[in-house]
Amino acid sequence: MTQTTMVMGLSLLLLYPSQLLLIGRFGWVMAALLGIAWLSSVWLLPALLAGPLGRITEGIEYHFQVNQSLQRPGGVPPEPVTASGLRAAVATQGR
């Protein structure tokens, strides 16, 4: 997300010095909108999900196959996953 936003925002900012005022304004407004969209998806949405209102989304159904290697047998609650383990598990199951 960060990389795509940076690439798109910087390339749209190239339109700013355009002699046609319409195009120049389109460029910087679009870049500003991309920046705010990045803020809203990377900062605002996780903050909303982690806050008290995030309990709404905890009941959402889970469609992906849970990796068995992350769960202990016998009904024991799974041990907390680390970020690297999660990344590896997600990478093996594909996106």
Partner 1 sequence: MRNQTQGQSVSWFDITGTVPVFYQAQTALLTSLVRSLPLAFVAIAIAMMILLKSVRAGLFCSVPGIFPIAVVFGLLSWQGYVLDIGIMLTGSVAMGIAVDEILHLLTWFRIAIGKAKVGSRRSCWHSGIVALR
Q: Kindly list the residues in this chain that would bind partner 1 in the complex (CB under 8 A).
A: 1-3, 5, 8, 22-23, 25-26, 29-30, 32-34, 36-42, 44-46, 48-50, 53-64, 66-67, 70, 77-78, 80-81, 83, 86-87, 89-90, 95
CB 12 within 8 A of CB 31: yes
Cβ at position 11, least distance to partner 1 in Å: 13
CB of 57 to partner 1, least distance (A): 5
Which of these, 30, 24, 34, 27, lies nearest to 3 by C-alpha position?
34
Distance in Å, CB of 8 to partner 1, minimum: 8
Give the separation between CA 55 and CA 70, rounded to whole angstroms.
24
- Is 35 in contact with 41 (CB distance < 8 Å)? no
C-alpha to C-alpha distance for 18 and 25, rounded to whole angstroms: 9
